[in-house]
Amino acid sequence: MEREEYDAQVQFVLQTIDEKLARLSKKLGIVKHVLALYRYMIDPEVHWTKKALVVGALVYFIIPTDAIPDFTPIIGYVDDAAVIAAVIKTLGKGFLKYYEEGAVERA
């Protein structure tokens, strides 16, 4: 992913993440992980090349027509959860601090 594409993807996430999370509500366990990824993405201390993986996962989460469309009953978010889990595992233990609500202020 090149810098210009990364910047466009970040803007897409910033414009749509709140709406998507509001629709899902906090009933789904995936929400806390998405919020942690979002905090990572907006952290000015993290280089954009490291954030690119997170941005890709968040875009995949937001877009309803992915490998298993989100409107598919019961299993619609299984692929989203798998992508998010893989990214979190890749980021490692240093990512854990982003689960704290005040970890990063919006840039």
Token pair recorded at residue 51: 């954030």
Q: According to the model, what pLDDT value does residue 5 have?
A: 92
The DSSP annotation for 30-80 comes to: HHHHHHHHHHHHH-TTS-HHHHHHHHHHHHHHH-SSSSS-TTSTTTTTHHH
Q: Give the CA angle between residues 50, 52, 58 to the nearest 5°.
A: 125
Q: According to the model, what pLDDT value does residue 25 have?
A: 61
Each of the 107 residues of the chain gets a pLDDT tens digit; together they read 788 999 999 999 888 888 877 776 655 678 889 999 999 999 999 989 889 999 999 999 988 888 888 778 778 888 888 999 999 999 999 999 999 877 776 54
Q: According to the model, what pLDDT value does residue 105 have?
A: 64
**pTM of this prediction exceeds 0.75:** no
Class of residue 92 by CB neighbours under 10 A (exposed 0-12, middle 13-18, buried 19+): exposed
Token pair recorded at residue 35: 């919020």
Greatest C-alpha distance within the chain = 39
Q: According to the model, what pLDDT value does residue 55 have?
A: 96
